[in-house]
Amino acid sequence: MEKGSPSIFVVGLGIGIIQQRLAEEKAYLEHLDLERVHRGDPSFNKTIEERIIWGELLELELQEVDEQIERICEKSGPVSTRQTEMRKNKLSSQSK
């Protein structure tokens, strides 16, 4: 991929959005910690905290899978695309 290509630009935008989301969630988690200290309740909003953390872990897993699929597609090249189109055509003709 060439430097400055549209897909790199889109990835760059995605990274900025992800960084912003992570910063907001980190700030919220820090707020929860302060609230726990203030209330003297270490279990205050633990469910929300767990949802945030598990949601981010799942997002990372999905991102890794997407990257693996993209690498596989890049390696397989246009032949794979043609085979996929042929399969789609075959399936659509069989369903008629």
Q: Per residue in 44-83, pLDDT tens?
A: 999 999 999 999 899 889 988 988 888 888 887 766 566 6
Half-sphere exposure of 64 (CA within 13 A, CB side): 6
pLDDT at 9 over 50: no
Spatial contact of 32 and 49, defined as CB atoms under 8 Å apart: yes
pLDDT at 93 over 70: no
| Tokens at 20, concatenated | 């912003």
CA distance 37 to 47: 17
How many CB atoms lie under 10 A from the CB of residue 27? 10
